[in-house]
Amino acid sequence: MFAVLTGLGLLESPGWHDGRLWVSDWTSGLIRAVELPERDADDDQPRVQVVLEHRSLPMCFDFLPDGSLVLTSAGQGLLRRSQDGSLTRYADLSALSAQPVPRPFNDIVIDGRGNTYVNNVNFDFAAAPPAGEPAPGFVALVAPDGHARVVADDLAFPNGMAVTADNATLIVAESYRHRLTAFGIGADGALANRRVWAEMGAHSPDGICLDRDGAAWYADVADKCCVRVGQGGEVLQRVQLDRGAFACMLGGPQGCTLFMVAAHWPGPQHLMNYTGWDGTVLSVPAPAGAAGWPGSG
């Protein structure tokens, strides 16, 4: 296992784009792009560039087919980064979350057709989760024309999301139901045919990604690990860490490196005032390359 970066904050949303590793540091309000050293290079230190500064919790991001970065922004919906680095409104999502207190949107994935899926846990994360069924979480779709609508509900803390390479299936990590849940994607981006993709037992999946063998990787904060599972839940590989794993992503020149973002987790009640994160980006070789979205282009 190799430590790419250390000493950061609460890290999320790793992605491989334009030959670099991108990662969001929520507590610093920064998105960084990391150029990794070439094998056998004299300079073996990664080159780190701050590509965006924006204060938001959460602050996840993905890339449109034209390469533009889109991020979730608390109170502002989705923002798009222009070539000059400025941020403009991409979609207003305020009418979709619970009233009278709109909740911030969480994770995001953009498929190969430009459909943007973004989810919302839809309750106060620092408080206890609401009792009873159905669960309040949901997934919204922002079509390429900017129209936004809810396309799935009754999700128990929706977290990481991924779309298969054929644009036919969206997989959502339901952290509080300890499972990966799949939906078929229609021609208009709508979701249907909800089903359990994999049960996680006692594990709570956070960020996820897919590989070319049809398996999924998920990060687990409480159990401090990243796990590769097949459809149905068979555990294929486990990478144990010394701190909470928040998300993982396949990338690198061949798409066969698993990048993991991890930090010490104090619990949701201390999210706003904790300073001992020691956020770290780690990497290990993976048995199969990246597939689907978030992509590895």
Domain count, the chain: 1
Which residue range is the domain that position 145 belongs to?
Answer: 2-291
Q: Is 156 inside a domain boundary?
A: yes
Dihedral over Cα of 23, 25, 29, 30: its sign = negative
Token pair recorded at residue 172: 């959502």
Q: Is 297 inside a domain boundary?
A: no
Token pair recorded at residue 51: 């590509």
| pLDDT digits 0-9 by tens, 8-17 | 999 999 999 9
The CATH number linked to 179 is 2.120.10.30
Supply φ then ψ for residue 268, to 5 degrees.
Answer: -65, -25
- How much is the pLDDT for 109? 98
- How much is the pLDDT for 296? 65
- How much is the pLDDT for 156? 96
Task: Check whether the bond before 294 is cis (ω within 30° of 0).
Answer: yes
Buried residues in 52-82 as b, exposed as e (16+ CB within 10 A):
bebebbbbbbbbeeeeebbbbbbebbbbebe
Q: Which residues are 227's β-sheet partners?
A: 218, 238
Q: Is 296 inside a domain boundary?
A: no
The pTM assigned to this predicted structure is 0.96
- How much is the pLDDT for 135? 93
Integer Rg of the chain from CA:
18
- How much is the pLDDT for 165? 97
- How much is the pLDDT for 126? 77
The residue with tokens 């106060």 is 124
Q: What is the rounded CA–CA span in Å between residue 120 and residue 102?
A: 10
**Under 8 Å between Cβ of 265 and 125:** no
- How much is the pLDDT for 43? 63
Supply φ then ψ for residue 103, to 5 degrees.
Answer: -100, 145
Which residues of the chain carry a pLDDT beneath 50?
Answer: none
